[in-house]
Chain A
Amino acid sequence: MNKSIIITGLLIFVLAVLSPFWFNFITTTEAAPEPELLGKAKDAEKCVLDKYDMRANHMSLLDEWRDSVVRDADRQYKAANGNMFNMSLSTGEKSCLGCHEDKTKFCDKCHTYTSVDPYCWECHTNPKDLAQGD
């Protein structure tokens, strides 16, 4: 095969392999987000699980909660640190959004950063969105 074709192909391949590097040079790269702890969450300093455990496992926990609420009508969760929580995304003081007031500044920050698109909000609503809507 023609040498210049081979070298062109090789060049394209090397550029493709190096794309994570040059892509970040030619575009502005967003830094890792710091999810904001606002209001009650800031004062509480205690979530359902430890920080890194929560970061890694919150989706499984929510999955278990969903099963527990829907199938067994059991809505109370006793955390390892002894606190009681309401197994709910958005209902009541002791729910997720009851403490972490602002979804966009808490949930969405990391989800957007890591391109995670949870389908929680296809059924659930963010109480804030509702309040604004009225």
Chain B
Amino acid sequence: MNQKYLIPLTAVFLLFIIAYIGVEGAGLQWFFGIVFPYAAMIFFIAGFVYKVMGWAASAVPFRIPTTCGQAKSLPWIKQNSIDNPDTSTGVFVRMILEIFLFRSLFRNTKAAFNKNASNKLSYSWEIFLWIGALAFHYSFLVVILRHFRFFTSPVPSCLKMLEYFDGIVQMGLPGLFLSGVVLLAATLFLLARRIFDAKVNYISQAADYFPLFLIIGIAVTGISMRYFTKVDIIGIKTLTMGLATLNPTIPEGVGGLFYSHIFLVSILFVYFPLSKLMHMGGVFLSPTRNMANNTRAKRHINPWNYDVKTHTYAEYEDHFRDKMIEAGLPVDKKE
């Protein structure tokens, strides 16, 4: 047993129970359905802006792009213009590929001892982190976009299109949305990786497990409401539309599970700016990715360099010329 994942797991359970009991027992619908979501939203935006502005104000004195290919060199040497870009176009393409396809995860390797008799330590390509991360991020994106049906009325046709493709397997009633299944499967895989892979387990902290458990909790409560326990969706949309139009109401007949779901989502929003989840904004600002490798073509001066008092060789020679000539040392300029 490992406290690094037991504590976050317990925390998510407790958060779930707090909201459930708060609604079912204490009748605090107004708090978990209105006050906390609004507060979480404000905190999320303020925290996000604060974090990014802090990064924007930080000095980046050095050109430190990671070079993953041939740099621009002599004309007959082929440059890798995406993995080692020297123009802003190259940087743009590199950033797009990083943000949408996670290329640096694609390069993930693992170190392991060979299973054969040689028992050598060797490195090999490990693609499953990349696959899990892609599956997780894109399914979560689709799930979030699908939830706009609770915040718009009438629902825009582009959302209906998304729902159509997400539910294209037409399984069961209500129809199965693939994104929900993929989201849960991918988070469970990423969790299993942290627990069962000894090397990943060794570097995993509570802050790595908590968001996973939180998102698993959100997915499980959401899936449960849609497919198993069932909820009054008109009541829920009345509440969410009330939130979106700043005219909040608490509907009748909506149970604790929904409030647990929305509370866990609110917790995710609050936790977001305080945690590693800020890589959502941070990925755009990675200095090792968003800089052009043009240090040979262009001189970059540290912006906070003060005027250093220099003493060049010419000045040195001016200073000591007589003595140098006297001692028989060679000089550039004779008098």
**Are the CB atoms of A114 and B149 closer together than 8 Å?**
yes
Residue interface mask B28-58, A partner, CB < 8 A = 1: 0000000000000100110011001101100
What is the interface of chain A, defined by CB distance below 8 A to chain B? Answer: 1, 3, 6-7, 9-10, 13-14, 17-21, 23-25, 27, 29-33, 51-52, 55-57, 59-60, 62-63, 110, 112-119
| B159 sits at the interface (CB 8 A) | yes
Q: Which of B53, B153, B253 contacts A30 (CB 8 A)?
A: B153
- For residues 199 through 245 of chain B, which have their beta carbon under 8 Å from a beta carbon of chain A? 230-235, 237-238, 241, 243-245
Smallest distance from the beta carbon of A69 to chain B beta carbons, Å?
14
Residue of A nearest to B53 (CB): A10
The residues of B that contact A27 with a CB separation of less than 8 Å are 152
Smallest distance from the beta carbon of A119 to chain B beta carbons, Å?
6
**Are the CB atoms of B238 and A20 closer together than 8 Å?**
no
Q: Which of B53, B244, B252, B284 contacts A20 (CB 8 A)?
A: B244
- Report the separation of the CA atoms of residues A18 and B49 in the bound assembly, to the nearest whole angstrom: 13
What is the interface of chain B, defined by CB distance below 8 A to chain A? Answer: 41, 44-45, 48-49, 52-53, 55-56, 60, 148-155, 159-160, 163-164, 170, 172-175, 230-235, 237-238, 241, 243-246, 252-253, 281, 284-285, 290
Q: Which of A32, A51, A112 contacts B238 (CB 8 A)?
A: A32
Secondary structure class of chain B's binding surface, majority of residues: helix
Smallest distance from the beta carbon of A45 to chain B beta carbons, Å?
17
Q: Which of B44, B60, B253, B290 contacts A55 (CB 8 A)?
A: B253
**Are the CB atoms of A63 and B48 closer together than 8 Å?**
no
Instruction: Report, nearest first, the 5 A-B pairs whose CB atoms are least far apart.
Output: A20-B151, A115-B155, A52-B253, A56-B230, A63-B173
**Are the CB atoms of A56 and B245 closer together than 8 Å?**
no
The residues of B that contact A9 with a CB separation of less than 8 Å are 284
- Report the separation of the CA atoms of residues A10 and B230 in the bound assembly, to the nearest whole angstrom: 38
Q: Which of B173, B252, B253, B290 contacts A1 (CB 8 A)?
A: B290
**Are the CB atoms of A20 and B148 closer together than 8 Å?**
yes
**Are the CB atoms of B245 and A24 closer together than 8 Å?**
yes
Most chain A CB within 10 A, of B155, B164, B246, is at: B155
**Are the CB atoms of A29 and B163 closer together than 8 Å?**
no
The residues of A that contact B252 with a CB separation of less than 8 Å are 52
Q: Can you list 23 A-B contacts with CB-CB less than 8 angstroms, sorted by A residue number?
A: A1-B290, A6-B56, A6-B284, A6-B285, A10-B48, A10-B52, A14-B49, A17-B41, A17-B45, A19-B148, A23-B152, A24-B241, A24-B244, A51-B253, A57-B230, A63-B172, A110-B234, A113-B237, A114-B149, A114-B234, A115-B149, A115-B155, A117-B164
The residues of B that contact A14 with a CB separation of less than 8 Å are 45, 48-49
Most chain A CB within 10 A, of B41, B53, B241, is at: B241
**Are the CB atoms of A32 and B164 closer together than 8 Å?**
no
Smallest distance from the beta carbon of B283 to chain A beta carbons, Å?
11
The residues of B that contact A7 with a CB separation of less than 8 Å are 56
The residues of B that contact A1 with a CB separation of less than 8 Å are 56, 60, 284-285, 290
Smallest distance from the beta carbon of A29 to chain B beta carbons, Å?
5
- Report the separation of the CA atoms of residues A1 and B53 in the bound assembly, to the nearest whole angstrom: 12
Residue of B nearest to A27 (CB): B152
